[in-house]
Amino acid sequence: MSQPISTFIRHHYRHFNAAALVDAADGYSKLIDSGGKMLVSLAGAMSTGELGLSLAEMIRRDKVGIISCTGANLEEDIFNLVAHDYYERVPHYRDLTPADEQALLDRHMNRVTDTCIPEMEAMRRLEKAVLEEWMKADAAGERYFPHEFMWRTIKSGKLEQYYQIDPKDSWVIAAMEKNIPIIVPGWEDSTMGNMYASHVITGEIKNVHTVRTGIEYMIYLADWYQKTAPTPVGFFQIGGGIAGDFPICVVPMLHQDLQLEDIPVWAYFCQISDSTTSFGSYSGAVPNEKITWGKLEANTPKYIIESDATIVAPLVFALILGW
């Protein structure tokens, strides 16, 4: 007899990282049920790993209040939307020789571990549509954030003819429909960021600042946090890197740099990471280290799930959603 995955998890996940998964999911639900908001940060290649299959539903069910992600995760959700059928999986990627890798490049297939993203059907297809929005805004003297340009491109309908998955499985579309803010620090370090730079260099885009910057994202986030933080705001970190460290720093910035009082720290913190603490990385830093930076407090609920986020994150979301 079949049973919900959440029933299976609660019966079998009793110890170690498995138990931490359940504890973190229950803490997440407790925060949301109390009227709080959750920031979800996405590092790594979670969009190419098709996290949208569960994250989009989390957004629709009001389990996510704001998202921080890399430029890669923003664009790769849409790459998958418009070119899914052209992707190729390479299960034995560890056995590839340099010549095999060159052959993939010659076919314009860009490998992300075991998954190859097709340049022409994914990247260039999106570039053509977004470039029209960049140039239109540039000519009008308007400026927008990277995620806003992505939303404007989606709303224009230019990409609909290419959809190859159900749009309900796109977390970017789900966020757009819910008007949930997306913070994209370091967007310049992405395929679309590189493309944007090239179009500025060629002169097709006159004002390099047509796409708003990371500093402006921090200013936006500071305003959002101050308006939202009278209710508890939690932090659910998938991976680490700039997608995690950039937004979590808004709290010490408000406290220490702006010298504002009565700014609450993050009300919940969970990280899914397999990074080793002793290497000195942000991704491997344990939650208690964040106390010294003014990001968390001693009594903040803190969880660490030391595992593969592509396995763990959908299970956490399934438990929260009652699947």
Is the per-residue pLDDT at 284 higher than 90? no
DSSP calls for 161-185: GG--S-GGG-HHHHHHHHT--EE-T
Is the per-residue pLDDT at 279 higher than 80? no
- Reported as half-sphere exposure (CB side, CA atoms, 13 A), residue 258 has a value of 16
- Which positions ≥6 away from 55 have C-beta within 8 Å? 40, 64, 171, 174, 313, 317
Is the per-residue pLDDT at 145 higher than 80? yes
CATH code (residue 209) = 3.40.910.10
How many C-beta neighbours within 10 Å does residue 103 have? 12
For residue 273, give the H/E element and its range: none
- The pTM of the full predicted model, rounded to 2 decimals, is 0.96
DSSP β-bridge partners for residue 236: 40, 270
Q: What are the tens digits of pLDDT across the range 56-86?
A: 999 999 999 999 999 999 999 999 999 999 9
Provide the number of structural domains found in the chain.
1
CB 270 within 8 A of CB 248: no
CB 267 within 8 A of CB 252: no
Q: What are the tens digits of pLDDT across the range 23-48?
A: 999 999 999 999 999 999 999 999 99
Domain that includes residue 119, residue range: 5-80+89-321
Taking the C-alpha atoms of residue 207 and residue 49, their distance in angstroms, rounded to an integer, is 34
CB 228 within 8 A of CB 200: no
